Structure 1
Amino acid sequence: MLTLNHILVDLDPSRDSQPALNKAIELVKISGAQLELFLAIDDGRYVSNWFISEEQLEQAKANSVASHKRWLKTYLDEVQDQGISANMEVVWHKPHYQAIINKLKSFPASLVIKSTHPHPTVSKIFFTPNDWQLLKSCPVPLLLVKETSTRPYQNLLACVDPTHIGGNHEGLNTEILDLSVELTQSLKLDTHIFHSCEPMGLETWQAMPEMGGISPEEHKSYLDNLLHKHTELLKDLTAPYEFGQSQLSIKLGDPISCICEEVKSTHADLLVLGTTYHTGLIGTTAERVLDEVSCDILAVKSKQFVPV
């Protein structure tokens, strides 16, 4: 369950707009949470310069931190002028995502908010290596906000998988559903719960002689039975909640395509996804979905997650 007591917002000095901060202010005004403005910097010009002494390097770092504090203070003043309780911190640290993880050890954030930006050459959101690392490593819910996210959320789409109930997935569906309920109530959202299942295609069945082959009619019966089974699993998963039948949706097909289609059909401006990995690459499905959808993304981990 997400209770917004403390929000950590990551700012980007390379951008004129700060969508993460704007969204944080919006949420703080509803929840009354304590807001922490955070900035991690690392100027490679100093580190790679062989012609300055260690003392000069430390002084250069201190000057850079002081300059960025002045920049961040302008945003802090704007926030506090709105009657919001807020503090700020600037640190020199690389990599950026690890600075955020370290900050979470001293600041009890219930939510981290970070901006994402459109790729300059493609018409979709570009997720940086720091975004991906945070998706893997951030121990609290992570909200990735796009530049065009200027209005309050209206439609939430939560993706669950009732077939995953153990291992790294233990409790993840519950976290997603609990969080969705709380957001629905506090932000007055129109919420839908979605599950997709990828069936075995007719061509695959027919290419496996050991399976005895299958007719188109038998394949249709297989699809009907599969849809019925997963529909029942979704109903069982959501039974403890008060979601109406019209709020539940299930589709057979490629998960990425199905989720993207559901985002469009529900006009979702907030997509809630579960993530389970903290080493190696993030799961392929999550990675492709994050690249394709145009809405903000709230990534959630189960309580079983242990930060590295």
Structure 2
Amino acid sequence: MKRINNILCVVDENSSSDVALIQTLRIAEETQADITVASVLNVTGFARAFGLNKDESDAKFAAMIVERREAVESWLKQNAPGKKIKVDIFCGIEFLEIVKSVVKNNYDLVVKCANDVDWLDRLFGSDDMQLLRKCPCPVLMLKPGQTGIFRNILATVDVNDAFDELDINRVQEKLNEKVLDYAAIFSISELADLHVGSVWDAYGEDYLRMGTFSDMPEEKVNSYVDRARRDCANKLELLVSNMTKLLGKDAVEYLGPKVHMTKGLPEKEIPLMAITHNADLVVMGTVARTGIPGFIIGNTAESILEQVHCSILAIKPDGFQTTVLN
């Protein structure tokens, strides 16, 4: 099972930072992890707007950092009395500063409350999406108001095998295992019901059934589709059964994961699955098929993120390298 040793909790004076802190304290207590609280001052264009030269702007930024640090430390004394928590204050664009800090300090988890963008029809705004895309470690992006425990956790895995022959490094398989590992950590600590969901399809089915130049008999198409379904079902069953090797028999028996497999498009079916099973946390890989030539990565995950309305734990595959530092 993965160890969470070092957590970065992102707070903002204009958002529900107590949501992020409450969840961070709960996770840290369960995993015995160290906590750093970070706050980012967005000073982009500040010096130009006020006509300050470099010396004047540097002095102003230094004063603002001291002021924000004092405010955060005072807030922590009220909300986490007696806890040993490091405080970092940054100036710049929030997601960039957070990602740079993750790379520098090797954080195992970032916890942040989603910015309240009530004028949008989705939960995550552009800045949060950037963090979900580019942060190399797992990101727990919380729905505003999610102060209680998670009761239903949905772990989403990809067991389609259309491109498996190109995935020589088993990136997708390892990512699936990683998703289940983190889902188990949160399910055990929160005493939550664990659901494992996957969406399957038969590659090229529409062409075989309706393509202009396809003359395959219907019974052969049906046999091919049924074989694809069985293959995905077998891979999903094996993946869940392998949790015993990762977590131990007792832990898996305690979790009793409920398995769901449906046919269709992940970007449509996963959000529906989250609603159907009342998920208040979805654990998902946000980049898959890394290293497979010609495969566009991330589009499906982004479409899912734009539709879900619960907290997200976003997982990257091992070896993911952020573009922020390039």
Using structure 2 for the length normalisation, give the TM-score.
0.82
Contact 1:194–1:249, Cα closer than 8 Å, also in 2:
yes
Residue matched to 1:90: 89
Alignment of 1:188-227 (within 5 A): 188-199=191-202, 204-215=207-218, 220-227=222-229
2:88 is paired with a residue whose SS is: strand
Contact 1:256–1:285, Cα closer than 8 Å, also in 2:
yes
Cα distance between partner residues in 1 of 2:172 and 2:206:
31
Residue matched to 1:127: 125
Give how far 1:237 is off.
2.1
Which of 273, 278, 281 lines up with 1:270 in the alignment?
281
Gaps of 5+ in 2: 245-251, 291-295
Give how far 1:40 is off.
1.6
Give how far 1:118 is off.
4.1
Contact 1:136–1:282, Cα closer than 8 Å, also in 2:
no
Which of 227, 236, 239 lines up with 1:237 in the alignment?
239
Residue matched to 2:115: 117
- Give the fraction of aligned pairs with identical amino acids, expressed as a percent: 23
Cα distance between partner residues in 2 of 1:194 and 1:21:
29
Residue matched to 1:288: 303
The superposition leaves residues 9-67 of structure 1 with CA deviations (integer Å, 9 ceiling, x where unpaired) of 11112225542222212222333322111012132352323732221111111122122
Give how far 1:113 is off.
0.7
Amino acid at match of 1:276: V
Cα distance between partner residues in 2 of 1:59 and 1:197:
57
Residue matched to 2:151: 154
Does 1:137 pair with 2:148?
no
Contact 1:170–1:302, Cα closer than 8 Å, also in 2:
no
1:38 is paired with a residue whose SS is: strand
1:3 is paired with a residue whose SS is: coil
Give how far 1:229 is off.
1.9
Cα distance between partner residues in 2 of 1:67 and 1:184:
39
Give how far 1:95 is off.
2.7
Does 1:169 pair with 2:168?
no
Give how far 1:120 is off.
2.5
Q: Give aligned pairs, total.
A: 303
2:158 is paired with a residue whose SS is: coil
Residue matched to 1:19: 19
Amino acid at match of 1:147: P
Give how far 1:251 is off.
0.6
Contact 1:176–1:273, Cα closer than 8 Å, also in 2:
yes
1:90 is paired with a residue whose SS is: strand
Give how far 1:218 is off.
5.7
Cα distance between partner residues in 2 of 1:18 and 1:262:
29
Cα distance between partner residues in 1 of 2:265 and 2:309:
19
The 1:208–1:32 alpha-carbon spacing in structure 2 relative to 1, beyond 3 Å, is: same
The superposition leaves residues 192-230 of structure 1 with CA deviations (integer Å, 9 ceiling, x where unpaired) of 111101346876434313220554x66554443332221
Contact 1:160–1:194, Cα closer than 8 Å, also in 2:
yes
Using structure 1 for the length normalisation, give the TM-score.
0.86
The 1:273–1:41 alpha-carbon spacing in structure 2 relative to 1, beyond 3 Å, is: same
Amino acid at match of 2:238: D
Cα distance between partner residues in 1 of 2:116 and 2:60:
32
The superposition leaves residues 230-289 of structure 1 with CA deviations (integer Å, 9 ceiling, x where unpaired) of 1011112222224578711111112122111211122111111112279xx961211111
Amino acid at match of 2:21: L
Residue matched to 1:259: 270
Amino acid at match of 1:273: M
1:158 is paired with a residue whose SS is: strand
Cα distance between partner residues in 2 of 1:224 and 1:282:
27
Detail structure 1 runs of 4+ shifted over 6 Å in the superposition.
none
The 1:53–1:122 alpha-carbon spacing in structure 2 relative to 1, beyond 3 Å, is: closer
Residue matched to 1:102: 100
Give how far 1:8 is off.
0.5
Comparing 285-294 and 96-105, the one that deviates more? 96-105
Residue matched to 2:247: none
The superposition leaves residues 90-147 of structure 1 with CA deviations (integer Å, 9 ceiling, x where unpaired) of 122x33222112222443422101111343324431322x323322322211110110
